[in-house]
Amino acid sequence: MAAPRQEEAARGLFGQGVKAVLAHWPALQIAVENGFGGAFSQEKAEWMAGAVEQYFQSNADLEPDEVDDFLAEVMNNEFDTMIEDGSLSQVSQQLCQFFRQCQQGNGAAVQEALARLAQKQQAAKRVAAEAQAAEESSSEEEQEAEEEAMECSSNGLQPSPPPPSSGPDQEDGWTLVRKKKK
């Protein structure tokens, strides 16, 4: 009776691992954030996690290159994206490693790796938030400088209007220059 529960726990842990690895895969995240998969890019990414998990469950002894091919096909078909940055092999190796560890009952190693991924994600969010705050601060300072410059020009030197003249040579504020008669 204990074996089915352990197997179920290992599957659940592997599912968490798949979701974490895909959530930290920059190529997939860029595709989702930019809508490469259309209006349902986020849903496709969630579906992809389930499809990857099912792919491992349905195929015994997968090699990283087989997982590479599967992931490349999904990214191409669902997100119209070709991955050429070398990340496919890294993601595939990590998924294969998680699957083996779960099958061998080494859930502690998987949980430790998931904790490290979560820490990296928190650090990345912190850095992104700091960068955004710095950018907003810089943008606000530039806007204030522009407003100050505009205030100075509106209060400072401006061309003065020409003096009024009642002569026939002025029309609508313009002075007509006529040729001298000889």
Most distant CA atoms of the chain, gap in Å: 122
DSSP letter at 37? T
Are 92 and 64 in contact by the 8 Å Cβ rule? The answer is yes
**Tokens found for residue 12:** 């659940």
- What's the whole-number mean pLDDT along residues 120-147? 77
Structure tokens belonging to residue 104: 């061998």
How many other C-beta atoms lie within 10 A of the C-beta of residue 46? 14
Residue type present at position 22 = L
Name the phi and psi angles at 159, rounded to 5. Answer: -65, 135
Q: Which spans in 80-106 are helix H?
A: 87-103
- pLDDT surpasses 60 at 58: yes
Which pLDDT score is estimated for 119? Answer: 84
Q: Give mean pLDDT, residues 29-56.
A: 95
Tokens 């993601």 sit on residue: 91
> 3-class SS at 168?
coil
Residue 31: per-residue pLDDT: 95
In tens, the pLDDT along 85-118 reads 999 999 999 999 999 999 898 888 888 988 888 8
CB atoms within 10 A of CB 117: 16
For the chain, the average pLDDT equals: 83
Tokens of 13: 């842990």
